[in-house]
Chains A and B, each alone.
Chain A
């Protein structure tokens, strides 16, 4: 069966510090991968998506970046965090080319920037 892992679960970082969040998927090959951010009580904002190794599409211009060094690994990074980067970060995967649009979400990382 497929599983998706995210770490860390929670993170408190000072403004201006770097960030690296990792997401890995098991039990599937060549998935579409997504990074979302969710502010408290709000919807999901798509940040990045990837359809293959090294292929990253950015949806929102900001100080974040993403990379996909391996088929089932997706990394979200920042060189200098802003207060506005606080939120709940969710990684998700989907079967590439599937008829449905079912996305499977990881447990998330709650980031607080102070």
Chain B
């Protein structure tokens, strides 16, 4: 079957760094995406990794290791507005994307 595993909750302090891990097992793999979703809102795209390595976009970075079927999202200089759910998602075979169950990030003052 296909599965993505990520922690259900993470808590961190404002200004700190937090890493959200994602391991996947899918029948096909083209790349790993990350999305952010605030309560009651729609998911918004953060990043996409098709190749191994680290991609940086401002305070957010995303990493992929295809050989380990593993990736992570790194959030630096945490702000209160970063409190949200974060989803990893795999672009697999065909035209579909499989989403993980999400990690709820709580940022405390």
Interface string of B84-106 (1 = CB under 8 A from A): 00010101001111111110100
Q: Is B48 in the interface zone, CB < 8 Å from A?
A: yes
Which of these, A34, A44, A46, contacts B87 with CB under 8 Å? A44
Assembly CA distance A103 to B42 (angstroms): 11
Cβ contact within 8 Å between B95 and A32: yes
Assembly CA distance A102 to B44 (angstroms): 9
- Taking A41-B104, A45-B99 as known contacts, 9 extra A-B pairs with beta carbons closer than 8 A to each other, sorted by chain A number, are A42-B101, A43-B101, A44-B99, A57-B94, A57-B95, A101-B30, A101-B89, A104-B45, A105-B42
Cβ contact within 8 Å between B42 and A90: yes
Assembly CA distance A54 to B89 (angstroms): 26
Chain B, Cβ-Cβ closest to A105: B42
Assembly CA distance A42 to B104 (angstroms): 10
Assembly CA distance A101 to B48 (angstroms): 7
Interface centre among A36, A42, A44, by most B CB within 10 Å? A44
Assembly CA distance A34 to B35 (angstroms): 16
Chain B contacts for A44, CB-based, 8 A = 43, 87, 89, 99
Interface residues on B, range: 20 to 34
Chain B contacts for A102, CB-based, 8 A = 33, 45, 48
Enumerate 16 A-B pairs (CB-CB under 8 Å) in ascending A order.
Answer: A36-B99, A43-B87, A43-B101, A44-B43, A46-B96, A49-B96, A51-B95, A57-B96, A100-B31, A100-B50, A101-B48, A101-B91, A103-B97, A104-B45, A105-B44, A108-B41
